[in-house]
Amino acid sequence: METFGSRLHRATRDRGPLCVGIDPHAALLTRWGLPDDVAGLERFALTVVEALAERVAVLKPQSAFFERFGSRGIAVLESTIRQSREAGALVLLDVKRGDIGSTMAAYASAYLDPESSLCADAITVSPYLGVGSLQPAFDMAATHGGGVFVLALTSNPEGPAVQHAVGAGGRTVAQTVIDEISQVNVGADPLGSLGLVVGATIGDTGHDLSKVNGPLLAPGLGAQGGSPADLRAIFGESLRNVLPSYSREVLGAGPGVTSLQAAADRAVDACRAVIG
């Protein structure tokens, strides 16, 4: 069984270092001339899959924008995940789940067990009930070759109040999360399967990411204000492990397939120029 870290390393080598979000929020559906209903959701998602699933390394559906349509929206999400993976893209499902005990185990089963119709290659999770509470997701990922991206340093203005808070040992909360994930990835080759989410607009915060040995998802590029050049200051010597993530900058080029492809190609080229 090939690990997620190995699959991601190969995908970014072959297709370039790029993750594109699939974020069908109401304003974007309207911009594409689509109705804000399940039919519009499905047309949007399938257009992105048609344009990019054979082209980019990772697609990242934001689960909330599908969930808002209830069971019919979840059915579209299932189809989006399946078709993206069949076309060769890795799917990172952005769900940001975080809970304890059997509830966390149920989330892990829903998103990382191949028997589930929602199974993705990797998911995002929140560590703020303690990194240890995420162990069911880590275990499920290890069993089935999946990946987990843990929130560490996010770009939202509310984040630093929690993430930069200093604990009794002198480390920030974020650095504690970073260090715990780094320990799990020790010795992984070519890349660990547990990653971190670190916003592309946070600047140099002084946190040490050098020992993570896992993928570093960097959302916030493009329309959200971040640029590939910003990644050098944030990630330093860990730049080679960064997975840049674009959403509105690429999706805003739709609804034309060729326009979406051209936007993704520009993003890949810009990221390659920095990351290599």
Percent of the residues in the chain that have a pLDDT greater than 90, as a whole number? 95
* Residue 51 predicted with pLDDT over 90: yes
From CA 268, how far away is CA 260, in angstroms rounded? 12
pLDDT digits 0-9 by tens, 11-50: 999 999 999 999 999 999 999 999 999 999 999 999 999 9
From CA 62, how far away is CA 17, in angstroms rounded? 19
pLDDT digits 0-9 by tens, 151-162: 999 999 999 999
For range 86-110, the mean pLDDT: 98
Q: How confident is the model at residue 276 (pLDDT cuts 50, 70, 90)?
A: confident
pLDDT digits 0-9 by tens, 58-74: 999 999 999 999 999 99
> Is-contact 121 85, C-beta < 8 A?
yes
What DSSP designation does 83 have?
H
Indicate the pTM of the whole model: 0.97
pLDDT digits 0-9 by tens, 124-157: 999 999 999 999 999 999 999 999 999 999 999 9
The rounded Cα 153 to chain-centroid distance in angstroms is 14
Domain boundaries 4-148+216-227+242-275, corresponding CATH code: 3.20.20.70
For residue 172, the model assigns a pLDDT of: 97
For residue 58, the model assigns a pLDDT of: 98
For residue 98, the model assigns a pLDDT of: 97
Specify the range with the lowest mean pLDDT, choosing from 94-98, 117-121, 225-229, 249-253.
225-229
The rounded Cα 257 to chain-centroid distance in angstroms is 22
Mean residue pLDDT across the chain:
96
- Contacts of the segment 83-86: beta carbons below 8 A, 24+ positions apart: 83/46, 83/49, 83/53, 84/49, 84/53, 84/59, 85/120, 85/121, 86/53
Structure tokens at 276: 């290599």
For residue 70, the model assigns a pLDDT of: 98
Buried b / exposed e over 40-61, threshold 16 CB at 10 Å, is bbbbbbebbbebbbebbbbbbb
Catalytic positions are 96
Q: How confident is the model at residue 249 (pLDDT cuts 50, 70, 90)?
A: very high
> Is-contact 234 202, C-beta < 8 A?
yes
Vertex 220 angle, CA 202 and 148, to 5°? 90
What DSSP designation does 252 have?
T
Q: What is the dihedral of CA 121, 241, 5, 209, to 10 degrees?
A: -100
For residue 129, the model assigns a pLDDT of: 96
From CA 192, how far away is CA 212, in angstroms rounded? 8
For residue 223, the model assigns a pLDDT of: 79
Helix (H) or strand (E) holding 163: helix 159-163
For residue 32, the model assigns a pLDDT of: 98
Q: What is the dihedral of CA 95, 254, 41, 215, to 10 degrees?
A: -10
For range 77-83, the mean pLDDT: 98
Query: What are the start-end ranges of the E strands in 63-163?
Result: 90-97, 122-125, 147-153
Q: How confident is the model at residue 256 (pLDDT cuts 50, 70, 90)?
A: very high
